[in-house]
Amino acid sequence: MANQLQPVRGTKDLIGEDVARHFHVIETARRVTRLYGFSEWQTPIFEDTRVFSRTLGETSDVVTKEMYTFEDRGGDSLTLRPEGTAGVCRALITGGLTQTLPQKVFYAGPMFRYERPQKGRYRQFHQIGVELLGAASPLADAEVISAGWRILNELGIAKDVVLNINTLGDAQSRANYRDALVAYFSAHADQLSEDSQLRLEKNPLRILDSKDENDRKLVENAPLIYAHLTDEAATFYEGLKSALTAFGVPFEENPRIVRGLDYYNHTAFEFVTNALGSQGTVMAGGRYNGLVEQMGGPNVPGIGWGAGIERLSMLIPPPPATALPVAVIPMGGDAEPQALSILNLLRANNIAAETGYSGNAKKRLERANKSGAAFAVLVGSDLKLKNLTDGSQEDVTPEAILERLGA
């Protein structure tokens, strides 16, 4: 067995309860977002590399270290999508939908990043997400966050999750705040990590998100953005908090939540949990008013979030078990055609049904009992419906089977 093929590192097969949890997350999110007026889009798994390099930043870790990029036979540079937002914005532009706004989008599917696999994180991972494109009001931000909160509620994990929100302000607020951060961190430059010293020159906001222990000590005393907000940005933030309160969504303010790219502004938020051992983010997002324009489209405001299905699946209780199929058992070879007819009838009336492919009636009945099926239809000179729980059985017609099984 030394040459037995294994899954590629950072990937995982979904089988049995894993796949049940996976699709329970997707179906719950699909149902909830439909209540909020979102429609589902599916974009290609791979895109022109520029879709991501333009939007994520040529120097970001995702672009420089984590993307699965390859040249196809036509010489084009393509990339497996590392996240969902850029593809949705590209589809908005190429689909000619910038004239019919707002667009409320839900998506679900696999993403790909070459990073160190760890608990709940894979190189092929899966996300659900929403994007609301074309609305500049704080109400839109609150509605997007509220939809995420409701999904977590419906999955039964809201009690283990805390919503942290922050504002990144408008462009002038960020410029004001950037100057304050540069002044503060420059005075402590010799204590910063090498990465943060580079960030000090290029994007000092990223220092606030550093994982380096010494950097984090400095960050504790760094200036907060609230003192540097313009009046308009402060009003937007208050509007967001008021709308979240009206929607009944609990939140905590966390001034250390940042987004490193320039097109992010105003709202940034994360749903975090301690239920996975150490604090982890299960859903995160923000407002990105400049992204569509950066991709070559018009100036379309946007707000959205993404959530890892693998992490959510680890938190949810086991999904409700699906009904076990009714076993259809021919009592002899001559009964096979009628058994197939009954099998077809049950399925046509949305009743799960199975039959064995070999073996005599006794062996098939033994297999039906072991499967946990509640009922078996015994097909011979007459029809019998057998209750496999208590062993009782009754003579039935095809119509009576449907009535008895609730079709």
Longest dimension (CA), the chain: 93
Q: What is the pLDDT of residue 63?
A: 67
Span of 52-56, 249-253, 376-380 with lowest mean pLDDT: 52-56
Could you tell me the CATH number of the domain that includes residue 153?
3.30.930.10
337 and 306, same domain (yes or no): no
Q: What average pLDDT does this structure show over 81-87?
A: 94
SS3 266: strand
Cβ within 8 Å of residue 333, ≥6 positions away:
none
Please tell me the distance from the alpha carbon of residue 278 to that of residue 311, in angstroms, as a whole number. Answer: 13
Measure CA 316 to chain center. Answer: 14
Q: What average pLDDT does this structure show over 228-243?
A: 97
Q: What tokens were used for 274? A: 């301690």
| Residue 1 pLDDT exceeds 60 | no
Q: Is 264 flagged in the annotation as binding?
A: yes
Q: What is the pLDDT of residue 258?
A: 83
156 and 238, same domain (yes or no): yes
Q: What is the pLDDT of residue 60?
A: 62
* Residue 208 falls inside a structural domain: no
Number of domains in the chain: 2
270 and 367, same domain (yes or no): no
| Residue 155 pLDDT exceeds 60 | yes
Q: What tokens were used for 122? A: 């894979």
The fraction of the chain above a pLDDT of 90, given in percent, is 72
Q: What average pLDDT does this structure show over 303-313?
A: 96
* Residue 202 falls inside a structural domain: no
Span of 21-25, 53-57, 291-295 with lowest mean pLDDT: 53-57
Sheet holding 39-40, edge to edge: 39-40, 103-112, 124-133, 302-308, 280-287, 265-273, 161-167, 252-253
| Residue 308 pLDDT exceeds 80 | yes
Please tell me the distance from the alpha carbon of residue 36 to that of residue 48, in angstroms, as a whole number. Answer: 31
387 and 251, same domain (yes or no): no
Please tell me the distance from the alpha carbon of residue 97 to that of residue 103, in angstroms, as a whole number. Answer: 8
* Residue 211 falls inside a structural domain: no
Considering only residues 406 and 147, tell me which one the structure prediction assigns the higher pLDDT.
Answer: 147
379 and 261, same domain (yes or no): no
251 and 370, same domain (yes or no): no
Could you tell me the CATH number of the domain that includes residue 400?
3.40.50.800
| Residue 365 pLDDT exceeds 90 | no
Residue ending a domain, choose from 315, 342, 371: 315
Q: Is 85 flagged in the annotation as binding?
A: yes
57 and 149, same domain (yes or no): yes
Please tell me the distance from the alpha carbon of residue 173 to that of residue 324, in angstroms, as a whole number. Answer: 59
Q: Which of 133, 71, 151 is nearest to 97 (CA)?
A: 133
Q: Is 103 flagged in the annotation as binding?
A: no
Q: Is 237 flagged in the annotation as binding?
A: no
* Residue 6 falls inside a structural domain: no
300 and 155, same domain (yes or no): yes
Q: 110, exposed or middle or buried, with CB in 10 Å at 0-12, 13-18, 19+?
A: middle
Q: Is 113 flagged in the annotation as binding?
A: yes
Containing domain of residue 135, as a range? 17-170+230-315
Q: Has this prediction a pTM greater than 0.85?
A: yes
pLDDT tens-digit map of 41-51:
999 999 999 99
Please tell me the distance from the alpha carbon of residue 284 to that of residue 5, in angstroms, as a whole number. Answer: 36
Q: What average pLDDT does this structure show over 149-172?
A: 95
Residue ending a domain, choose from 315, 346, 368: 315
Please tell me the distance from the alpha carbon of residue 395 to that of residue 407, in angstroms, as a whole number. Answer: 18
Tokens 């520029």 locate to 50
* Residue 375 falls inside a structural domain: yes
Please tell me the distance from the alpha carbon of residue 208 to that of residue 260, in angstroms, as a whole number. Answer: 10
69 and 112, same domain (yes or no): yes
Q: What tokens were used for 399? A: 């119509």
The DSSP letter of residue 155 is T
SS3 263: coil
Q: Is 83 flagged in the annotation as binding?
A: yes
Helices (H) and strands (E) in the chain, counts: 14, 16
76 and 150, same domain (yes or no): yes
Q: What average pLDDT does this structure show over 315-338?
A: 87
* Residue 272 falls inside a structural domain: yes
Cβ within 8 Å of residue 221, ≥6 positions away:
none
Span of 25-34, 86-95, 109-118, 248-257 with lowest mean pLDDT: 109-118
What confidence category does residue 80 fall into, taking pLDDT thresholds of 50, 70 and 90? very high
117 and 28, same domain (yes or no): yes
What confidence category does residue 260 fall into, taking pLDDT thresholds of 50, 70 and 90? low
Q: Is 357 flagged in the annotation as binding?
A: no
360 and 240, same domain (yes or no): no
Q: What is the mean pLDDT of the chain?
A: 91
Q: What is the pLDDT of residue 300?
A: 96
Q: What tokens were used for 200? A: 């000090």
Q: 187, exposed or middle or buried, with CB in 10 Å at 0-12, 13-18, 19+?
A: exposed
| Residue 261 pLDDT exceeds 90 | no
Q: Are the beta carbons of 266 and 233 closer than 8 angstroms?
A: yes
Residue ending a domain, choose from 274, 295, 315: 315
Q: Is 347 flagged in the annotation as binding?
A: no
Q: What average pLDDT does this structure show over 110-131?
A: 91
Considering only residues 379 and 406, tell me which one the structure prediction assigns the higher pLDDT.
Answer: 379
* Residue 186 falls inside a structural domain: no
Sheet holding 77-80, edge to edge: 46-48, 77-80, 69-71
| Residue 131 pLDDT exceeds 60 | yes
Q: Is 28 flagged in the annotation as binding?
A: no
* Residue 73 falls inside a structural domain: yes
